Structures are given as C-alpha cells and as structure tokens.
Structure 1
C-alpha cells in the first residue's frame, strides 16, 4: 500500500488523497519564500532611492507610497485571473510563473535608473506576488483536509515568520556586504537584486519539481463578482461583520506601514544624522525589524489561544489596543534605532500578527455559510484598501509632517477601531449566522 492510499499525514496534518510529504515540503517552502520576497523589495527600496537614483529625501515618502499603491492595484486586478488560470493549467504552473515574474521584477530593480522603470519593475513583481498569494490559499485547500486546516495554517504562520526574519537579518545586509567588497552603489544594487533574482529562479525550479502535477477538479460554483460584492457589502449591516472589515483594513495597513516606511526612516536618519551609507542604515534597520518579527512569531500562538478562550470581539480589542499604543508612541521617538523605537517595534510586531489572527477568526465565526465567499472577499478587499490608504496617506505624512507620521496615523485608526470593538463588547451576544461554525 502506498503512503497516499491511506490517510497520509505531515507534521500531524491530515492530507488529501494523492498528496505526499514532498508536496507539503514544497508548499511550505513557497510560504517561506513568499513572505521573504514580499518584505525584501519594499525594505531594500530606500537604498535604491537614496544611493542609486539619488532622490531627494523630501520626495522619498510619497514615491515609496506611490510604488506601494500601484503595486497593490496590480495585485487587486490580477488575483482573480491567477485563480481562474490555475483551474485551467494547474496550480504548479501558476506558482512557477509567479516566482518567475517576481524574479524578473527583482532583476529590473537592479538595472533600472529612473522612477518609471522602478514602477514597471514593481508592477511585474506585484503580479508575481499576487499569483503566489492566490496559490498559497488554493494549495492549502487542495492539499490539506478540512479537519487539519487550523494546524496547517499555524505552520504556515511559522514559515511566514521565518521568511520575514530571513529578509530582515540577512537579505537587507546584501547592499552593505557588496559595498564592503569595494563596489559602488550602482554595482552593489545590481549585485544585490541579481543575486536575489537567481535565488528566486531556483525556488521556481523547486516548485516545478516539487508541487503536485495535474489540474485538480473543482466543482464549486462561484457567483459573479458584482453579486459577491453586493452580498458582502450587504452583510456589513451587521455591526460585528463591519467591525471585522475595519479590522482587516487595520491589519493589512499595518504591514504596509512597517514594510515601507520603517527602513525608509532608518535610511534617511542613518545617512543624515549618523553619517552612515544608506546600505549600512538599511542593514541596521533590518536587525531591529527582526526583533519585531520575532515578537510576531512568539506571540502568534498566544493570540490564537486567546481567540478561542475570550469572546472574539474581546480578543480583537486587545490586539487593537496593543497596536494603538505601539504605533502612536512613535510620535515621541526621535531615532529609529534607539530603545524607545525597539519597544514600539515589539508592540507593533505583536499587534500585526494579533490583528491578523483575531480578525480572521472573527470573520470565520460570523460569516454565514451561504455567503462565506462573498463576506471573505470583502474582508480581503478591505485589507487591500488598508494598504492603499497606508501607502498614499503614509507617504504624504512622511514627507510633510513626521518620519513617524505613517505610524501615528495608523495608531489613531487602530484606537478608533478598538473603541468601536469595546462598544460592541458591551452589547449582549448576538446569535451567530446559520451553521457558521465556532
């Protein structure tokens, strides 16, 4: 009897028929690589803007925000295409293509010398990120039984945390490493991004050989997109669903603020105040970001347990309160490298993962079965809007007010959503939608 003819398992996770240990190892490699690459590009961008394109510091916030904005627009426009394409040609081919596009975008980052080229590179890279993000969700559904989704998602979170820490601790040091070997800024940029493009091509090859072949049969009928939007927005009449949408806005916006503006702040402060090169400042900032990601990694299981032991709205309120304090306190921080900044980063790291976990559990609890896809779609769209707002408003505040402005802005939003959740917490428990699950 083959290993897949019975109920195969991987790390205690029950697998669907035909799925092997090799498929799961490759899947978790894709989880690790996806977050590593999603953080690498925006966090090395300040080095490119400052030392290669030599963009004046007064414009770097808005430019970084605009690159994020248009990158997110590409993601929103292409996720549906990737999902449909994977039903026709298979998950493996879409995953491989996604990593190839990411490699192409990263390589273009290393050779472009103007903002238009950088925007094109970001668009290609974002299309690849959209493909991988879509496939992670789809592969999870294809590979893992319903009864093991929670455990499988927990391991996915661990791989995400390790990927983000790899980017912060090692990949952000590449420009400084190459400059230390005698390269100028342009040569160091080319070497950094070319090295990563080669790594991503190797990952694409691993996906080709390691993921399950063939096209999975899907027999689920999806309502038209406009119908899903109407149904999902209609459910926002229920206060708890509306709260979950707002929490998704905060959770995804948090990621955009830290990923885009912290290393930019570190780069500008390091070069203008401490006399560092931009590569050195980005490298130093990466070390502190690793502390934030460590806080996320260590606190994720705690927030998962709290989501099961407390009322879901109460658990969400707690994470929003932590985020409000961590983000808002940056108003009083002068240096992105000092102890006060480290304390804020720890709180921010806890709040990021906590808000993602608690808002996800809340929407899973409250979404009616018959409208689950529509509600989750609007929940995801709210997160995308959070990234767009964080990018545009955060970029303006960074250039025209404070370097900590994007953080303070999202701290205030988190405080408002926290107050809303506390008001709902005081109300009696509403009955759950039909058969929506615990």
Structure 2
C-alpha cells in the first residue's frame, strides 16, 4: 500500500490512502446495513399475516424455522466471507451483501409458500453475514490503531440510528400505504399491496446503497500477498489465530456480546408481556407497547453512548477495556435478578444499564482483535469473531429460553454468568496479551514463517 500524508477526520486518524469520503461511506454502510437487517425481523409478522395469510400457531412454527435456517446459513458462511474479503478486497463483499439483502427483500412478499420463504430467508442471511463481518473490518481498516475504538464507537452510533429508523419509520410503511391504497375498504388486497410496495421501497434503497458502496468505499488492498493465498488457508488462519491470548479473549467477548444484543430484543419485551398477562394488569397489546418502550430505552442508551465507550477504549489497554466492558455488561444482566415487577419503574433503570453494557462489550471486542492480527488475515479473523457471536446467540438464547417459562430472568442470568466467565478468562491472560507490531503485520508475504503454521505474525 502506498504511503499518503496522515489525515484526521471526525477526530479519527485515517490509515494511509483512506480519504474522508471513504470514512463517511463506512458510516453510511453501518447505518444502511443495520436498517435493513433490523427491518426484516420487525416486519416479518406483517409479511406472514398479510401475504401468507398465516395463523397464530403456524406463524410461530414458521418464525422458528426461518430463524434456525438463517442462523445455520450465517454460521456456515461467516468465516468464508472473511477469507473472500482478504482475497479479493472488502468492497466486493460489502456490495454483494447489500445486493443479496436487496434482492431477497424484493422477492419476499411474492413467496407463495413456506419453502420459498425459507429459501429467501437464507439468501437474506447470506447477505447479512457478509455485512456483519465487513462492518467491523472496514471500521478497523480505515483508521490507525490509536483511533480504532473511536471508529467502533461511531459505527455503533450510526448502526443504532439505522435500527431506530427501521423500527420507527420503515416498519410503519405498510400501514401508511394501506391507508392510501383504500384503508379498511381495501381489505386483504390493500394489505398485500401495501406490504409489497413497502418491501419494494426497502429493496430499492438497499440496492441503491450497494451501488453507492461500489463507488465510495476504498479500492486499496490491505495486503496484496493475501490475494494469492487459498481461501481454505485463510479460513484456517482465522481459526488458528485463537492460540493468541488476545485473539482468544476477543473471540470469547464477541460470543457473549452478540448474544446480549439478541437477548435484549427477544426476551426483554417477552418478560414484560408474560408478567402482564399473568397478573392481569394490562391487555396484551398494552404490555407489548410497554415492552417496546423498555427495549427502546436500552437501545437508545446503547446508541448514544457508543462514541463514549469508543473514546474510553482508545485510552485504556485494549484487553483492559474488554474486561471493564464485560464486567459492566455482566453486572447489568445480573441486576435483573433484583427485579420482581417488570412493569415497574425499576425495569427502566435496568434497561438503561443493559444498554450500556451491551454497547460497551460490542465496541471493545473489535479493536482488541485488530491489534493482535496482521492485516493479511484481518477479515478472516473478523469472520471468525462474527461466527463466535452467531454461536453465542444460538447457545445463550437456547439455554436461557429453556428455563424462561419457569424463570423469566433466566436468559439474562445466563448472559451475566457468561460475561463473568469471560472476565475471569481475561484476568488470567491479560498480562500475556502482546500487541502485534503493526509494521510487521502489514508486510507478511505469502509463505513466510509468520504467516504459516506458527500463526500469523507470531515467531
């Protein structure tokens, strides 16, 4: 990579060859990717009821099937996307991710049966896998080491804003369009048309962003040597990097952090609804609205404190920042054990703490990984890290969900205990975490000892 004068933009120190426009493009990518990723699950009930004319029990079965198919698709492909990005560059993978999400969104409302819907959900998941891995990778590529936590913080801010736009704006499109297409007199036909137009709008936005990314993301290669390395070897390198204590800690932190994010969205509103129905204090609709407010508090706090934790992460040793974040997240989740009434005001305080812990854990894990791996296999490493997060969602949600009916705080307790285990592991290895010299990692030729069996960048 050619040397360029050092630049600063938005308080970040840009990497060689990266221009302010490239950094702005990465923020747009974070906003748009999270917006589309959030929209589909939120709009799924509308899709099932309006297009497939599903009924309650069938919808539950279909939703479970779609979620399982999507998670399996992501787990199987995440490491390969990282290897592809190291081999061919970040830009083609990002564009492919948006294109897959856009095309599947365009076709979703025309799925005439569950089988077609599952196939489209898998295609969408393949796009999500590409985008999830590249969000972290691009955020690290575009800035120098001293700005990487702040870069993650900004990515978290724009991702949160994208999620808010999806939930507060895009999800309302079907109802708005249905009124304009005939309101109550339009009946089922108006509802189906409104759903299709809504997904068409989202698909066109997504495809437009894909085109924008092609022209605005950096075309510079992070490491030319990786273009000649077989994909299977890049995947293997991403996995074997875990022998480094810092990489292992980052992978473990991601396992918990991504699961935390899923638990907030899935179990926090469900806890409120179940309690309200049992106590008879509210109707289901009222309880659902209350649960939405609770989740909204957690996500709003997470969105607007992401830059704060990014700033803090650049002022601590990266492993120490991870420990602080994991301890905070664990304490937040375990604080749910003190809540006896999820309809009371105390749940709002707990939700705010959960939002803080959730974003702190996400923002700090990535920069630690960046300082431990060479650029030649950086995307492969982030593919494996995102894979760890997907497995964490599957494991922690499943274990917590098994006990939820008898103990609604179970998912949060499981997440809290998992966080404490990561803290214990981090304390055990923190003195053994040695950052990889960036100038060494940036110039690893294919076949060098550092790139091979002894582990990238490790003598």
Name the TM tier (shorter chain). Answer: 0.7 to 0.9
User: What CA distance in whole angstroms lies between the structure 1 residues aligned with 2:395 and 2:419?
Assistant: 14
| CA contact 2:256–2:392 (8 Å) conserved in 1 | yes
In structure 2, the partner of 1:275 is 283
Q: How does 1:325-336 map to 2 (within 5 A)?
A: 325-330=331-336, 333=339
In structure 2, the partner of 1:406 is 411
Is 1:291 the counterpart of 2:312? The answer is: no
In structure 2, the partner of 1:246 is 252
* RMSD (CA atoms): 4.5
User: What CA distance in whole angstroms lies between the structure 2 residues aligned with 1:115 and 1:403?
Assistant: 31
**Residues 34-43 or 5-14, more deviating:** 5-14
In structure 2, the partner of 1:191 is 194
| CA contact 2:95–2:211 (8 Å) conserved in 1 | yes
1:92 CA drift (Å): 6.2
User: What CA distance in whole angstroms lies between the structure 2 residues aligned with 1:73 and 1:282?
Assistant: 29
Q: How does 1:22-41 map to 2 (within 5 A)?
A: 24-41=23-40
**Secondary structure of the structure 2 residue equivalent to 1:221:** helix
Q: 1:413 to 1:145 in 2, by over 3 A?
A: closer
Q: 1:230 to 1:346 in 2, by over 3 A?
A: same
User: What CA distance in whole angstroms lies between the structure 2 residues aligned with 1:79 and 1:389?
Assistant: 17
Report Cα offsets for 1:184-227 as digits up to 9, x if no partner: 68965763564144133134224425642799464132654554
Q: How many residues align?
A: 424
Gaps of 5+ in 1: none
- TM-score of the aligned structures, taking structure 2 as reference length: 0.72
Q: How does 1:354-373 map to 2 (within 5 A)?
A: 354-367=360-373
User: What CA distance in whole angstroms lies between the structure 2 residues aligned with 1:371 and 1:96?
Assistant: 20
> Residue 432 of structure 2: which of 410, 422, 430 is its match?
430
Q: How does 1:189-268 map to 2 (within 5 A)?
A: 191-192=194-195, 194-209=197-212, 211-212=214-215, 216=219, 218=221, 219-221=224-226, 223-224=229-230, 227-228=233-234, 231=237, 234=240, 236-237=242-243, 239-263=245-269
In structure 1, the partner of 2:72 is 73
| CA contact 2:70–2:122 (8 Å) conserved in 1 | yes
Q: 1:100 to 1:307 in 2, by over 3 A?
A: closer
| CA contact 1:323–1:411 (8 Å) conserved in 2 | yes
Q: 1:409 to 1:178 in 2, by over 3 A?
A: farther
Q: 1:142 to 1:43 in 2, by over 3 A?
A: same
1:249 CA drift (Å): 0.5
Is 1:342 the counterpart of 2:341? The answer is: no
Is 1:416 the counterpart of 2:421? The answer is: yes
User: What CA distance in whole angstroms lies between the structure 1 residues aligned with 2:283 and 2:33?
Assistant: 34
User: What CA distance in whole angstroms lies between the structure 1 residues aligned with 2:429 and 2:79?
Assistant: 34
Q: 1:146 to 1:301 in 2, by over 3 A?
A: closer
Gaps of 5+ in 2: 440-459
Report Cα offsets for 1:71-97 as digits up to 9, x if no partner: 133234445666677799986665455
Report Cα offsets for 1:308-348 as digits up to 9, x if no partner: 44454443333223322332344565776543332232122
**Residues 149-158 or 172-181, more deviating:** 172-181
| CA contact 1:243–1:420 (8 Å) conserved in 2 | yes
1:102 CA drift (Å): 1.9
In structure 1, the partner of 2:453 is none
Report Cα offsets for 1:4-45 as digits up to 9, x if no partner: x98887545547659574x65444322201112222223444
Is 1:301 the counterpart of 2:307? The answer is: yes
